[in-house]
Amino acid sequence: MKLEIGREFPSHFQPAYPEEFELFSHFETTAGIPQVLFAITTWKENGKPNVCFHSWACFHGDKTAFFAVMGNLYQHTHTYQNLQREPCFCLNFLPLSYYDRLSDTIRHNSLEEDEFLAGGFTLENAKTVSAPVIGESFLTMECTLKQQMDLSGAGITAMVIGQVEHMSVEEAYARDRLKQYGRDGYMLLVPAPQDLVSGKPGQSGIAIADIQKWD
């Protein structure tokens, strides 16, 4: 037997906090799909560095180009506004041990804040675009803005597509390719899996990749 969930909000779904389903679709907590967590870095209009913790994304291309598709960037974020002014950005991949420091950049989010200082990050400059880079990242992607689209049309979020111009990989991770999986590697967000039977809310989890099979 399967439980069927449609576009109409399931009346038995309880939010984990009052505004949960103002911010997120109930399909998000129905599926609870793990997605890689990373930080988008840009320059604010006053020249201070900006950090945006981000999870909704995928990465792919063909032989001519490679893209970072950030499926859902809130339009109210500084990052979205920065991209309208300067169409380039960096994506910074850090391990689980940086979760709290990345969260600190959300708590210190005003225009006047240096968000690298807030997170205790080392500021470096990207090599091919005008954007700051988090020195502690094991992988950085430098991107130019290729396209953006408000998928729902509600003026709340936007799908932002970056064309990857350059990647920088920390040497220890280049020498040991398995280092980017497990505790030192990619961190994943498991978005609050709902109890689909009782409707009770779930908590979000932070996960790591655990390779089970090679092909």
Ligand X SMILES: Cc1cc2nc3c(=O)[nH]c(=O)nc-3n(C[C@H](O)[C@H](O)[C@H](O)COP(=O)(O)O)c2cc1C
CA–CA separation, 132 and 118 (whole Å): 14
Give the per-residue contact string, 135-174, with ligand X (x = CB under 6 A; - = no).
----------------------------------------
Structure-block tokens of residue 193: 């899996």
59 binds ligand X (CB under 6 A): no
214: exposed, middle or buried (C-beta count within 10 Å: 0-12, 13-18, 19+)? Answer: exposed
Q: How many CA atoms does the CB half-sphere of 144 hold within 13 Å?
A: 7
Of these, 33, 58, 106, 178, which contacts ligand X (CB under 6 A)? 106
Of these, 28, 78, 104, 129, which contacts ligand X (CB under 6 A)? 78
Q: How far is the CB of 11 from ligand X (least distance, A)?
A: 27
Size of the site for ligand X (CB under 6 A): 17
Of these, 88, 91, 164, 189, which contacts ligand X (CB under 6 A)? 189
Contact partners, residue 27, CB within 8 Å, separation at least 6: 5
CA 199 distance to own-chain centroid: 27
Of these, 109, 144, 148, 163, which contacts ligand X (CB under 6 A)? 109
Q: How far is the CB of 142 from ligand X (least distance, A)?
A: 18
93 binds ligand X (CB under 6 A): no
26 binds ligand X (CB under 6 A): no
Q: How far is the CB of 20 from ligand X (least distance, A)?
A: 13
Contacts with ligand X by CB under 6 A lie at 37, 50, 52-56, 72-74, 77-79, 103, 106, 109, 189
